Chains A and B, each alone.
Chain A
Amino acid sequence: MEGEFQIRELIDAGKIEADEGQRLIEALHAAESRDRVLRAGLAEIESTKRASLRWALAATGFALLAVVTLVALVLTPTRQPTSTEEIPRIAAELATQDLGMTIDQLERKLRQPGTSRDYRTLSMAYEMRYQESGNETDRQRAAEAGARADRMQRRFSMQGRSGVFGLLFVLIIITAVVMWIVLMYNGLAKRDERVEERWAQVETVLQRRLDLVPQLVETVRGYAEHERQTFTAVTEARAKALGTLQATQGTSPRGPQAAQTVTGAQDELSSALGRLLAIAEQYPDLKASTNFVTLQSQLEGTENRISVERQRYNDSVRDYNSKLRVFPSNVVGGMFGYEGREYFESVAGAEDAVPVDF
């Protein structure tokens, strides 16, 4: 923009051809446009990088949980109830013992609850006695004790498994909670990044206005030399606005106060510019000059760009702040230290500062 003014001066001074100058100015505009697209692209890449990092973290966490669950499933010892496998051993034992005594002993023992192995042994002992005596009662008893052993075995096997199910259940709950936190966090972080991106756009258009100011001052000065106070006021306001803008541009993330820092100085500049343009009203030659008309339309266009970007920034802040305020994301926000953002309010209203008048 400064460059454009210099080119125009060169044209006015007759140092370069108007056509050539126009071409240079157009090339300048094109370069600026490319620059802006490039910067937007870089911001986008940055945000994509951050987003993919978050998702990579989330995916890693999830994968870890899945592995832990699997390992737990495999490693948890299931309490294997014994009796069925031990049938040959029990049979061998029984063969060496007196059946009647064994049965009596076991019946006594089993007045108290016993193990499935005891019932299995009893069942087999009755069975063997039945084989010998052919007594139907023995056969019945054998069946009863066998059924009891079977039941107990089943129950034991269920008990062994249910420990794993419980663990699994807990792990699933933990996974769900972690996933939920990750999603909440992602939602917040994404909104936070959008606020940052929008703010970068606001800074770009604010900078654009600052770039226009020196040309405007010079152009008005050419027609109204003696209005020095106003020129000084505008130049000082610009310097101050530039200072606050650069102060916020240096920090990343820019923090919730960036908008607040910038606002005051921008408002001062707006009102100083208003006074400068009011001066222009008194000089018809100035108002009619091509340079001034061009600058004025550029300034108006820039004011509108500021208004548009400010609106979009504020929308993104509203979106983010409301998310941060409501349950449950406020819990997650508190966990990760997210703070509310400031709106970019302009007391004067940037777009009202410049009278649109030809």
Chain B
Amino acid sequence: MIRAIPVATVALAALPALAACQRGGLPEDGPSDQRFVVDAAGLIEDNSEQRMNEILGGVLDDTDIELVAVAIDSLDGEPINDFTNTLFERWEVGSRTLANRGVLLVIGREEEQVRFEVAYDLEPVFTDAFVSYIEHEQMVPFFANDEVGRGIEATVELIARQAYEKVLGQAYDPTAEGDSDIGGFRTGGAGAETAVTFGDGVRGRTPPASKDAVRSHFAAQPTPELAWDRFVEANRRRIKDADLGIYDTEAKKFMRGVVTNAGQDHLANLYGGEDPTVRTEGDRAVILFLNDPNHLLAPWFFHKTHEGWQLDGSMYPDVIGYNHLNQWRFRRRDHGYMFAFSDFRLDENGFAFYRP
């Protein structure tokens, strides 16, 4: 009799969940220690899925946040909010953390909806406003360009970045244990949902050309410092015109891909208040940041062409790479800009440490 009560409750609670698991061919087994991406809709390329699993494993280890991404074919008419909430509890997202730090991302292919649901413990870290912003400014543009895998990856990067910043800002302690639930539940419906479109016919769309005044403001510059300032300014103003003079041919190619508001905001916020060091040798210049103990401020490379100083697009992502916490490192050292790093020590993974 005593035992029958919780059993009955669990059985009752599991009923909608059981119905949910058959939907959209969602696999019975949820996430595991190595698997954080469950793609039942075939939206994510295999290598992208593998990369994300690695990134998310690192995010779990370093920020104690378990982020699970699920893409399903169809919600069969169930509101995505209800579906996500039920699945969150059924899969016990966040049970791999020390406290109750889970985030579940559900992508409904047929309904063209995405939803992030955030566990009770993470509500101050990922506010509804932040989640909604990420969905609108990061996922929507990528999905519209039919780059779902890359879009999720880029989103995960921003989430990881936010988590890492919160850890650095001591908003929470990833080594602290906590209660795993409130009244038996892990999440209270925090987060946000957003409508998306998968490939709305604007694939390969050229970003709108800017007005002449803007073009001349962002032309190739007489000094690397000015080119850098213009580059940050262009991002702050969310200018997506790929043909600005401050970009070289390679950089223009990159800018023709998916550039999101969230990505630009992030860059502008990150570098906006920083004081860069400029090191020039001949036609090459490096904008670098000596006070960067957490490896968050990657260097930027400019070279002088016949137009003037322009961003050297060939360095990304060939030379500079990022890990799951968005910490930058050198992937190669055989490039023409090493002159600027003579007073840096590089460890075996390519992370640079300023040692004057």
Contact = CB atoms under 8 A, between A and B. Distances in A.
B164 to A, nearest CB: 15
Nearest to A25: B127
Given A30-B171, A190-B5, A308-B189, A315 B12 contact: yes
A294 B188 contact: no
A162 B120 CA distance: 63
A69 B181 CA distance: 44
A300 B183 contact: no
Contact of A183 (B2, B9, B171): B2
Contacts of A32: 124
Interface in B154-191: 171, 179, 182-183, 185, 187-191
A307 interface: yes
A201 B185 CA distance: 11
The B interface, classified by DSSP as helix, strand, loop or mixed, is: mixed
In which size bucket is the chain B interface? 20 to 34
Interface residues of A, number: 38
A304 B189 contact: yes
Given A304-B189, A305-B190, A29 B129 contact: no
Contact of A201 (B81, B82, B121, B188): B188
A86 interface: no
B136 interface: yes
A304 B81 contact: yes
A205 interface: yes
| Most A C-beta atoms less than 10 A away, residue of B9, B131, B182 | B182
A358 B136 contact: yes
A191 to B, nearest CB: 8
A33 B129 contact: no
Nearest to B9: A319
B85 A308 contact: yes
Given A30-B171, A297-B132, A300-B128, A40 B188 contact: no
B183 A44 contact: yes
Nearest to A294: B129
B129 A187 contact: no
Contact of B123 (A33, A43, A186, A309): A33
A313 to B, nearest CB: 11
The 4 closest A-B pairs by CB, nearest first: A301-B128, A308-B189, A297-B132, A29-B124
10 contacts: A41-B179, A43-B183, A44-B183, A297-B128, A298-B127, A300-B132, A301-B191, A304-B191, A319-B12, A358-B136
